[in-house]
Amino acid sequence: MRDDAELTTRSWSPSETEFPNDARRDMAGGDENPPRREFKARGSFVERCDGCRLPVLNCLCPFRVTATSAAHVWLLTHPYEHNKPTNTGRLIADVLPQTQTFTWYRTAPEARLLELLADRRYVPYVVFPDDQPDYQHRVVDERAVVVAKQDGFIPVFILIDGTWRQARRIFRKSPYLENLPVLPLHTDRLTRYRLRKPASASHLCTAEVAAELLRNTGDVSAANVLDDYFDAFNESYAASRFYHKIEKPNAAMQRLLERRAFGAAFS
């Protein structure tokens, strides 16, 4: 994925990582077809929880909480991403129940997505780096999101969930995204994601991108909860790879447990 790395900006790439078969699949034009068999990868022999799909050794379910946010998230997920247990887009949907998840198909967008894009209650933004000249006229910053809220609209972050190569393709080849404003994320945050190896530490995974956008646009509580849930996921999954059972919840896990015990009033 060397060519991908060259295209990324200092602040963010939608790539959670590189998946070794992507290039071959892209060349084969296989994007339109969802995978026909269950995803097999390192650790696929491990017993997984039906609820969270993590290895049962450190199941995430006890830490699952919800939060509310003024801004919504719609995930536009590459078909290959759905079956990956290391996918973090699904963490957003766990924490923010109003999240919508769509599977991306180049030739046939989901009808529900088109309906929502036409719904005037929402102001959707495609979250994507602003490093290419041909769509600069569409680029906005986070102030636009705040203004949309003040005007009584529901801002929506459309997050393209896939590798960088997939995300670039989705961004370029989806006519229904062509007229939407483009919202780049500029942040100094370095990724804490430990389950896939990014080309650069500045490449945040999907859940981290959502948390940063929420935080930067005023949904601080939701951002903090999502970050805690992401950290719990990250730590639980990483420990399981070494067959290590987490005996003592870390600080993020503790906060999630308290939130579960005391409800959303605690944040």
Please identify, using beta-carbon distances, which residue of 61 and 114 lies nearer to Zn ion. 61
Helix axes 251-262, 220-241, angle to 10 degrees: 120
Q: Of the ranges 42-50, 107-115, 173-181, 223-231, which one interacts with Zn ion (CB under 5 A)?
A: 42-50
Please identify, using beta-carbon distances, which residue of 7 and 56 lies nearer to Zn ion. 56
Q: How far apart are CA 180 and CA 166, in angstroms?
A: 19
**Torsion of Cα atoms, 203 then 105 then 84 then 112, to 10°:** 100
Give the number of residues in contact with Zn ion, rule: CB under 5 A.
Answer: 5
Please identify, using beta-carbon distances, which residue of 211 and 232 lies nearer to Zn ion. 232
43 binds Zn ion, rule: CB under 5 A: no
49 binds Zn ion, rule: CB under 5 A: yes
Please identify, using beta-carbon distances, which residue of 51 and 263 lies nearer to Zn ion. 51
Q: Of the ranges 14-22, 37-45, 47-55, 172-180, which one interacts with Zn ion (CB under 5 A)?
A: 47-55
Measured in whole angstroms, how far is the alpha carbon of residue 202 from the centre of its chain?
15
Q: How far apart are CA 4 and CA 136, in angstroms?
A: 20
Please identify, using beta-carbon distances, which residue of 69 and 86 lies nearer to Zn ion. 86
The nearest distance, CB 227 to Zn ion, in angstroms, is 19
The nearest distance, CB 62 to Zn ion, in angstroms, is 8
190 binds Zn ion, rule: CB under 5 A: no
Please identify, using beta-carbon distances, which residue of 25 and 48 lies nearer to Zn ion. 48
Which residue in 31, 57, 59, 231 binds Zn ion (CB under 5 A)? Answer: 59
The nearest distance, CB 258 to Zn ion, in angstroms, is 19
Where in 147-186 is the site for Zn ion (CB under 5 A)? none
Task: Give the C-alpha distances (Å, rounded to integers) separating 147 from 29, 47, 123.
Answer: 40, 47, 10
65 binds Zn ion, rule: CB under 5 A: no
Would you tell me which residues interact with Zn ion (CB under 5 A)?
49, 51-52, 59, 61
